[in-house]
Amino acid sequence: MVSLWVLIGILIKILVVVGITQGAVAYLILVERKIAAYTQDRIGPNRAGPFALLQPLADGAKMLLKEDVIPKYVSRPLYILAPWIAITMAMIAFAVVPFGPVGPDQIINFQIAPYVNIGILYVFAVGSLSVYGVILAGWASNNKYSFLGGLRSTAQLISYEIPLGLSILGMVLITGSLDLNDIINWQDRQGVWGIFVQPLGFLLFLVSAFAETNRLPFDLPEAEQELVGGFHTEYSAMKFGMFFLGEYLHIITVSYITVILFFGGWDIPFFLSQEQTSVWSAALKVLVMIVKVFAVILFMMWIRWTLPRFRYDQLMDLAWKSMIPLALINLVATAAVVQLIRTYWV
């Protein structure tokens, strides 16, 4: 019977998380449009409802009601599969992301699948799979612009995945765990956030994260100016909307990972700790985490409207000639320091 209740609990959590993130995506698009407008000295959407709060509804209705055109020349199964991959992979990465405190003595575990000890590996594995959505969309569209977009995505993948993986290894070495909860708990116990222990790792992770989420300055696969719409040129209506949804879900996931790895998750030093188990402290922790994640998302949007797009070869240059060596140096130095501390201090 106990396992049944656990199952029901998990199902409820899944529903809540999926519902909230989907809603959040709708409003993130509004936030992004507002930020875009403000940075360009415009006003942005302000007609639908007070402060344009109904704009996401209007956008969503438009997406759903538009005619869904599937051109004759596309490879149909893959063409239909691609947006599903994009959205599913972005969503299931959330399974191991703790969005609040998790522990044996907590009343609610704020995580869909708690105690997954490969945590971060799973997130990156699934995150890498989501690039299949882009590549398949580009290939199945049977259109040269889409295809170029897909090709660029492939090139981008092999460039940034390595520094992305290497950049988090420092944190993993220090905390001694791949489980995201353990990483938060370590930062809470030591009273220091990951960004202060691993500043270089943070920078490398952030840059790779922009590439991972296909955001400017690394949005080569969709580069409107040269590739029409890039990989989603041939997509319309909700299929296009699903790519959009997937992109923003990915942003939320990556922001959660950034906050967990480098900004202490739900932790506020001297204020919140893992010993607190009351409902109120749990609610506060969830809220703290959401605020931090929102700040990271805002920063990503801010970057988007500040930096121009990197050229294809510049991205390769940056990833292979700067970021990978830096990440390796960071990794070796961290490993040496951790080994020294373990040998002589503990």
Partner 1 sequence: MRLDDPKLRKIEPPKLSLADRFYVTQVAVGLAVTARHYLGVAFGNKAITVQYPEVQHVPSPVYRGVHRLNKDHEGRVKCVACMMCATACPAHCIDIVGATAPESWNDREKYPESFVIDELRCIYCGMCEEACPVEAIELTGLYDITGLSREEMIFDKTKLLSVYDLTREAEPMKFTTPPPTADAKQTEALPSPLS
Question: Which residue stretch of 164-172, 241-249, 283-291, 299-307 sits at the interface with partner 1 (rule: CB under 8 A)?
Answer: 299-307
Q: Which of residues 306-325 bind partner 1 (CB under 8 A)?
A: 306-307
Half-sphere exposure of 324 (CA within 13 A, CB side): 12
How many chain residues bind partner 1 (CB under 8 A)? 15
Give the separation between CA 346 and CA 281, rounded to whole angstroms: 32
40 near partner 1, rule: CB under 8 A: yes
- Our CB check for partner 1 shows the closer of 126 and 301 to be 301
Question: Which residue stretch of 42-50, 98-106, 108-116, 285-293 sits at the interface with partner 1 (rule: CB under 8 A)?
Answer: 42-50
Q: Which of residues 198-217 bind partner 1 (CB under 8 A)?
A: 203
DSSP class of residue 309 equals P
Please provide the distance, in angstroms rounded to a whole number, between the alpha carbons at the two ends of the chain: 44
Type and span of the H or E element at 247 = helix 237-262
Per the CB < 8 A criterion, the answer to whether 83 and 138 are in contact is no
CA–CA distance from 105 to each of 158, 180, 266, 274, 288 (Å)? Answer: 42, 17, 16, 10, 20
35 near partner 1, rule: CB under 8 A: yes
335 near partner 1, rule: CB under 8 A: no
Which residue in 54, 155, 173, 303 binds partner 1 (CB under 8 A)? Answer: 303
Q: How far is the CB of 196 from partner 1 (least distance, A)?
A: 17
Q: Which of residues 117-146 bind partner 1 (CB under 8 A)?
A: none
Question: Which residue stretch of 37-45, 100-108, 179-187, 228-236 sits at the interface with partner 1 (rule: CB under 8 A)?
Answer: 37-45
Per the CB < 8 A criterion, the answer to whether 41 and 30 are in contact is no
- Residue 306 φ then ψ, to 5°: -105, -45
Given the rule CB under 8 A, which residues bind partner 1? Answer: 35, 37-43, 46, 203, 302-303, 305-307
